[in-house]
Amino acid sequence: MLPAAIFLTQMILGYVAWLLCFRAYLWPWLRSMERIDALRAIATLHSFRFFGLVFIMPGVVGPHLPASFAGFAAYADLATGVLALLALMTVRMRPMFWTCVVAFNAVGMADLLLDYYHAVQAGLPATAGELGAAYAIPVIYVPLLMITHVAAFYLLLRAPAPQASVRAAAA
């Protein structure tokens, strides 16, 4: 099997596995929470996106990892992670929290979509071995990140549950 086919197969199966896991375990758990708590949980996951800097770490990735992919992926991940951390730090300042939640999800989803575009343009699937130790990121971690961005936007757009509004008014 060609390296590009292996990489794409693993990435697709990463989405399938995470979608099954998310649907069975994570989504019911997130939906059972107050909206703000569910978004805090998602922000906590995304606060680790500083890990994307590994794409520009010599010795971790191969020397021929396309720079057109690596630099953007690394710094956009870092920006998303910092925005997620800001969301977590501003949870008591609700307008700032909501702004940071929207920002980290918008930046993070745009990052992932543009990373896919840059990867295809640079021929990364055929040379995925250049990802080195970072190979697991696009096939295991990125599918979960994308799924949780979609869930976060859904939670942001849905009206708060009536009981959440009553409790918030009482607080």
Task: For residues 156 and 162, give the distance between their C-alpha atoms in angstroms, rounded to a whole number.
Answer: 15
Mean pLDDT, residues 27-46: 97
Q: Please give the pLDDT value at position 160.
A: 73
Averaged confidence pLDDT in the chain: 93
Q: What is the SS3 string spanning 70-138?
A: HHHHHHHHHHHHHHHHHHHHCCCCHHHHHHHHHHHHHHHHHHHHHHHHHHHHCCHHHHHHHHHHHHHHH
Mean pLDDT, residues 83-107: 97
Q: Which two tokens stand for residue 52?
A: 């994307």
* Domain spans of the chain, in order of start: 75-143
Mean pLDDT, residues 127-137: 93
pLDDT at residue 103 greater than cutoff 90: yes
Q: Please give the pLDDT value at position 169.
A: 56
Q: Please give the pLDDT value at position 97.
A: 97
If we measure between CA atoms, which residue out of 135, 168, 127 comes closest to residue 35? 168
Q: Which two tokens stand for residue 14?
A: 């990463």
Residues 110/73, Cβ–Cβ less than 8 Å: no
Q: Please give the pLDDT value at position 158.
A: 87
Task: For residues 9 and 11, give the distance between their C-alpha atoms in angstroms, rounded to a whole number.
Answer: 5
- Please, which residues bridge with residue 61 across strands? 58
Residue 1 — very low, low, confident or very high, per pLDDT cuts 50/70/90? Answer: confident
